[in-house]
Amino acid sequence: MVILENISKRFGVKTVLNSVNLDIRTNEIIGLIGPNGSGKTTLLNVMMGLIRPDAGTITISCKLSAGVSRKGFFGGMTVTDNLKVYAHLKRLSDSDIDKVIQLFDIDFGKTNFGKLSAGMKQRVALAQAFMGNPDLILLDEPTNHLDIDSIFKLRSAIEERKKEGTTFIIASHVLTELEKLCDRALFLFKGEIVKRIEASELGFTNLEAEYLKLSVK
């Protein structure tokens, strides 16, 4: 589905990614774990094509959807019109919009995006990421600003899409959520994947304890 080989990226004198290798399989959920500045967001941006790596190759053989970013919306347009713009660019239908509006309980479609709370904006961004049944969805801190009910809806949406064959990469600080969802967990520190926990180990591994052990090395 997606293969990353020796991906490296520098910003000035700082190495953000250092020879990252990753083979993303079909129909799995990968948790990407690491402190702020470890390279998680940069890695996702490289996969989305938003940042060009300095070295390495990326092979993508699937339909990819990127999220969650609240920057690509027009504040003076309604939520529904924003989603229609995205649907038009992706050649999706009104039914695709209706599905995600229902999925994330968006009952404020006539409100201008700029007037929404941070939690509402996050739900709209999630709706956009899920639109059109992509093969791979990238989520960067997807639970930010969400209330408990919205987190439950997101978890349910991820589990249902996985049953339909969608693969997820989720970068998050909420390790308890990743433990519930993930098939694999990758620990990223200073731009390098320093530990990989496979599905067979996840049920017996406390991610928080593992993170703390790695962070003091």
Quick one: 56 and 88 in the same domain?
A: no
Q: Is 67 a residue whose pLDDT tops 70?
A: no
Q: Is 66 a residue whose pLDDT tops 70?
A: no
Q: Is 97 a residue whose pLDDT tops 90?
A: yes
Last residue of a domain, one of 133, 162, 182: 133
pLDDT band, very low/low/confident/very high, at 152 (cuts 50, 70, 90): very high
Answer yes or no: are the C-beta atoms of 130 and 100 closer than 8 Å.
Answer: yes
Quick one: 89 and 6 in the same domain?
A: no
Q: Which two tokens stand for residue 17?
A: 């990614």
Quick one: 142 and 200 in the same domain?
A: yes
Between 200 and 52, the more confident residue is: 52
What is the number of structural domains in the chain? 2
Render pLDDT for 15-53 as a digit per residue (tens, 0 to 9).
999 999 999 988 999 999 999 889 999 999 999 888 999
94 occurs within a structural domain: yes
Quick one: 14 and 112 in the same domain?
A: no
Provide the angle, in degrees to the nearest 10, between the axes of the packed helices 94-103 and 79-89: 130
Counts of helices then strands in the chain (DSSP H, E) = 8, 9
What does the buried/exposed string (b/e) look like for 15-32 if buried means 16 or more CB atoms within 10 Å of the residue's CB? bbbbebebebeeebbbbb
Render pLDDT for 176-196 as a digit per residue (tens, 0 to 9).
888 889 999 999 999 999 999
Q: What letter would DSSP give residue 25?
A: P
**Beta-carbon contacts of residue 175 (< 8 Å; ≥ 6 apart):** 33, 207, 208, 211
24 occurs within a structural domain: yes
CB atoms within 10 A of CB 147: 11
Alpha carbons 31 and 40: distance in angstroms, whole number: 10
Mean pLDDT, residues 203-217: 76
pLDDT band, very low/low/confident/very high, at 103 (cuts 50, 70, 90): very high
What does the buried/exposed string (b/e) look like for 100-134 if buried means 16 or more CB atoms within 10 Å of the residue's CB? bbebbebebeeebbeebeeebbbbbbbbbbbbbeb
Quick one: 52 and 99 in the same domain?
A: no
* pLDDT computed for residue 207 by the predictor: 84
Alpha carbons 34 and 215: distance in angstroms, whole number: 9
67 occurs within a structural domain: no
Q: Which domain holds residue 32?
A: 2-62+135-215
104 occurs within a structural domain: yes
Whether the ω angle into residue 85 lies within 30 degrees of 0, i.e. cis, is no
Measured CA distances, 28 to 12, 93, 181, 183 (Å):
35, 27, 10, 6
* pLDDT computed for residue 216 by the predictor: 66
Percentage of residues of the chain with pLDDT beyond 70:
95
Domain containing residue 26: CATH number: 3.40.50.300
Quick one: 168 and 190 in the same domain?
A: yes
Quick one: 146 and 171 in the same domain?
A: yes
Please state the three-class secondary structure of 79-136 as a single string. HHHHHHHHHHHCCCCHHHHHHHHHHCCCCCCCCEHHHCCHHHHHHHHHHHHHCCCCCE
* pLDDT computed for residue 217 by the predictor: 61
211 occurs within a structural domain: yes
> What pTM, to 2 d.p., does this model score?
0.90
Q: What is the mean pLDDT of the chain?
A: 91
